[in-house]
Structure 1
Amino acid sequence: MNDEKSGVEVAVVSGLSGAGRSTAAKCLEDLGWFVVDNLPPELVSTMVELGAQARGVITKVAVVMDVRSRAFTDDLASVIKDLDARGYKPKVLFLEATDAVLIRRFESVRRGHPLQGDGRLSDGIAAERRMLMPLRDEADLVLDTTGLSVHQLRGKIEDAFGSESSARTRVTVLSFGYKYGLPMDADLVIDVRFLPNPFWIPELRDNTGLDSEVRNYVLSQEGAEDFLDRYQELLRLIGAGYHREGKRYLTLAVGCTGGKHRSVAMSEELAGRLASEDGMTVKVVHRDLGRE
């Protein structure tokens, strides 16, 4: 079986304890990888085969491995060779850092090293470094996280394992009605109740912001276009900042009184504008549309 037939990409993430494996795993999940942490080496090939049989549901499998597994280095080396022979061509990421940084990280969380035993923290780090040296030498990508922030590490992993679409900030524009309560998951909230309410116009009352008559009425009101222009520029700045900080999900809540007219029309218009921005994918959800 080759990787074209299986349609599954495989990555193996390993490295020194405290060097950033958990951050790497979370980043890969955000990039759309199916991540399995600390799977026994003898089960890795089975996991990948199951992914290949999922008929496109799972297309990227990442296995995070560390020295907690028995016979770690020998078994993992065999697994990598087996996957390679099957045509999966696994990409191996190895994370490391200097002893001083690793010691500081362990001390900051007040945890011992998995190989420390009754010895010192530095003894566990040295033993692990020796144990993993063969794997490091065979890795496709070695990342030294000594001087990297969490966000910088995420950026390097995105460059290595992400696609253009997976690295985009995913924006959900959510319309809602204030009388039904604020959305609990909103990152930003926009209040469009400063615009005249179509509810008080008899011929528009039974329509919604999805209807052209209501949309045209709302967008033609004084301040509507200026508001959209300026908020789009603000979101461009916020989106770029979120991207730099590694935040890949943004929920923008747009509210009016009942969530039927103004918020719906403004959400649709704002989403259409954001969809044209670089680095964003946008979807619209109307939470309270259809309520009485």
Structure 2
Amino acid sequence: MNSKKIIIVTGLSGAGKTTALNILEDMGFYTIDNLPLGLEKSLIDINLEKIAVGIDIRTFKETKDFFNFIDLINIAKVDLEIIFLEAEESVILGRYNLSRRAHPLKEKTLLDSIKKEKEIFFPIREIADLIIDTTNSRPINIEEKIKANINLQEDLVNLNLHIQSFGFKYGVPLDTDLMFDVRFIPNPYYIDELKNKSGYDKEVSEYVMSHRESQEFYKKLLEFIEFLLPQYIKEGKKHLTISIGCSGGKHRSVTFVNKLAEDLKINSNLNIYVSHREKEIGHW
């Protein structure tokens, strides 16, 4: 593997590709948006060590063209990572209506174009190293996820691990590999002195973990994750997102995410990034 690093930023139109490229440019990457396929050899030959390339549905005619592009870079033994951006259909629809720009796919309706693009991009999403759901994200949230997950020290870190809490009442996160539900644990929300606090507060976390089912579940969860991590590393996976949800994403899930991150920190092969979705969005 040579010292060059190429990051491909792709995904659904209107999901934030330009924002992601701007973030990478600020991180020192030379950015290219909508590089025509056929010029990929120039990326390998050019004397630049950090390159970020934006590729969307306008760049290729068939999905196989994208995979041929990836194959050429891999054959050259260049360090490659793929960032895939997506958002809920209703949100992309709203963004297009607000900007009044035309969707690159010319289906009968805008919604048909969005659905068609999701179908075309599905195989590409499956091989992405990092998937970012921008449905409720601000640019600062996207920046945090990119900085936490993009591996610039490949020889030191084997796996970038993102652990996030969320509330089921606000919908499940799209950008996840493993999801766990802790709504079976007694809810601090119904205790007056704990209701307005969060899993960051000692009183809340102690209450959540005081129950037998909490302790037993956490023990099994930690053992399960510790078993899975080396298996993913062995298979070459670079990024893993674990989501833990409760009703509102403020008490139980936050407690479990923080505790899991703390207990996994002893593993020097991991770069751990913690986020609490509902806090970021303003639901707390």
| TM-score normalised by the chain length of structure 1 | 0.50
Q: Identity of aligned pairs, percent?
A: 33
Q: Aligned to 2:61, which of 64, 71, 76? A: 71
Question: Structure 2: any 5+ residue segments left out of the alignment?
Answer: 154-284
The answer as to whether partners of 2:44 and 2:76 remain within 8 angstroms in 1 is no
Residues 100, 70 of structure 1: CA spacing in aligned structure 2 closer, same or farther, 3 A cutoff? same
Report the 3-state secondary structure (helix = DSSP H, G, I; strand = E; otherwise coil) of the residue aligned with 1:24: helix
Distance 1:132 1:89 in 2: 22
Distance 1:70 1:147 in 2: 28
Q: Aligned to 1:87, which of 51, 54, 77? A: 77
The answer as to whether partners of 1:39 and 1:63 remain within 8 angstroms in 2 is yes
Asked if 1:146 corresponds to 2:132, the answer is: no
Q: Please give the residue correspondences for 1:100-139 in structure 2 after superposition, counting only pairs within 5 Å.
A: 100-117=90-107, 119-139=108-128
Distance 1:123 1:23 in 2: 25
Report the 3-state secondary structure (helix = DSSP H, G, I; strand = E; otherwise coil) of the residue aligned with 2:39: helix
Report what 2:280 is aligned to. Answer: none
Residues 83, 49 of structure 1: CA spacing in aligned structure 2 closer, same or farther, 3 A cutoff? same
Report what 2:266 is aligned to. Answer: none
Aligned-pair distance for 1:62? 1.1
Aligned-pair distance for 1:116? 2.9
Distance 1:135 1:45 in 2: 20
Report what 1:12 is aligned to. Answer: 8
Structure 1 residue ranges (4+ consecutive) displaced by more than 4 angstroms after TM superposition: none
CA displacement, residues 119-178 of structure 1 (integer Å, 9 cap, x when unaligned): 1110100110011111001111111111111211111112223769xxxxxxxxxxxxxx
Matched letter for residue 114 of structure 1: P
Aligned length: 153
Report the 3-state secondary structure (helix = DSSP H, G, I; strand = E; otherwise coil) of the residue aligned with 1:114: coil
Aligned-pair distance for 1:48? 2.5
Q: Aligned to 1:37, which of 23, 33, 38? A: 33
Residues 77, 163 of structure 1: CA spacing in aligned structure 2 closer, same or farther, 3 A cutoff? closer
The answer as to whether partners of 1:44 and 1:63 remain within 8 angstroms in 2 is no
Distance 1:69 1:123 in 2: 20
Matched letter for residue 160 of structure 1: N
Distance 1:109 1:20 in 2: 13
CA displacement, residues 179-234 of structure 1 (integer Å, 9 cap, x when unaligned): xxxxxxxxxxxxxxxxxxxxxxxxxxxxxxxxxxxxxxxxxxxxxxxxxxxxxxxx
Report what 2:50 is aligned to. Answer: 60
Matched letter for residue 19 of structure 1: A
Question: Structure 1: any 5+ residue segments left out of the alignment?
Answer: 165-292
| TM-score normalised by the chain length of structure 2 | 0.51
Distance 2:79 2:4 in 1: 10
Report what 1:252 is aligned to. Answer: none
Report the 3-state secondary structure (helix = DSSP H, G, I; strand = E; otherwise coil) of the residue aligned with 2:38: helix
Asked if 1:22 corresponds to 2:11, the answer is: no
Q: Please give the residue correspondences for 1:108-257 in structure 2 after superposition, counting only pairs within 5 Å.
A: 108-117=98-107, 119-161=108-150
Aligned-pair distance for 1:45? 2.7
Residues 95, 23 of structure 1: CA spacing in aligned structure 2 closer, same or farther, 3 A cutoff? same
RMSD of the TM alignment (CA)? Answer: 1.7
